[in-house]
Amino acid sequence: QSALTQPASVSGSPGQSITISCTGTSSDIGGYDYVSWYQQHPVKAPQLMIYDVSKRPSGVSNRFSGSKSGSTASLTISGLQAEDEAHYYCTSYTSSKIVLFGGGTKLTVL
């Protein structure tokens, strides 16, 4: 199975909203509501931001939200802040009982 497809980069100005897409197939994103999103700052471990498509772990800002339509999941960050600049990765559980990661998206806050 191939990795999930994410845009290589997105950018936005402080205060704006941005959306990162994550495209899969009916065997992963389209077949399960088990999509997660992770934020990774340079030389840091990833941090869980969204799980089960749209749930936020305790402590994660409500500026982060997730959704899914068909085989494409999306992460939206509203009220963009400088500290949001990082790499973002999506994951999905699959019919092969494994997890696929997206290739990652670099978010630049202008």
Partner 1 sequence: EVQLVESGGGLLQPGRSLRLSCTASGFTFGGYAMTWVRQAPGKGLEWVGFIRSRTYGGTTEYGASVKGRFTISRDDSKSIAYLQMNSLKIEDTAVYYCSRDASGVLPRAFDIWGQGTMVTVSS
DSSP state of 32: -
Distance CA 14, CA 46 (A): 23
Structure-token pair, residue 108:
């630049």
CB of 39 to partner 1, least distance (A): 11
CB of 46 to partner 1, least distance (A): 6
Structure-token pair, residue 66:
């997730």
Distance CA 22, CA 102 (A): 7
Distance CA 77, CA 99 (A): 24
Which of 3, 12, 71, 78 touches partner 1 (CB under 8 A)? Answer: 3
Using CB under 8 A as the binding rule, the residues of this chain from 54 to 93 that contact partner 1 are 57, 87, 89, 91, 93
Distance CA 6, CA 11 (A): 14
CB of 83 to partner 1, least distance (A): 18
Using CB under 8 A as the binding rule, the residues of this chain from 4 to 33 that contact partner 1 are none
Centre a 10 Å sphere on the Cβ of residue 20 and count the other Cβ atoms it contains.
23
41 near partner 1, judged by CB under 8 A = no
Stretch that binds partner 1, among 10-18, 64-72, 74-82, 102-110 (CB under 8 A): 102-110
Binding residues for partner 1, rule: CB under 8 A, are: 1, 3, 34, 36, 38, 40, 45-48, 51-52, 57, 87, 89, 91, 93, 97-104
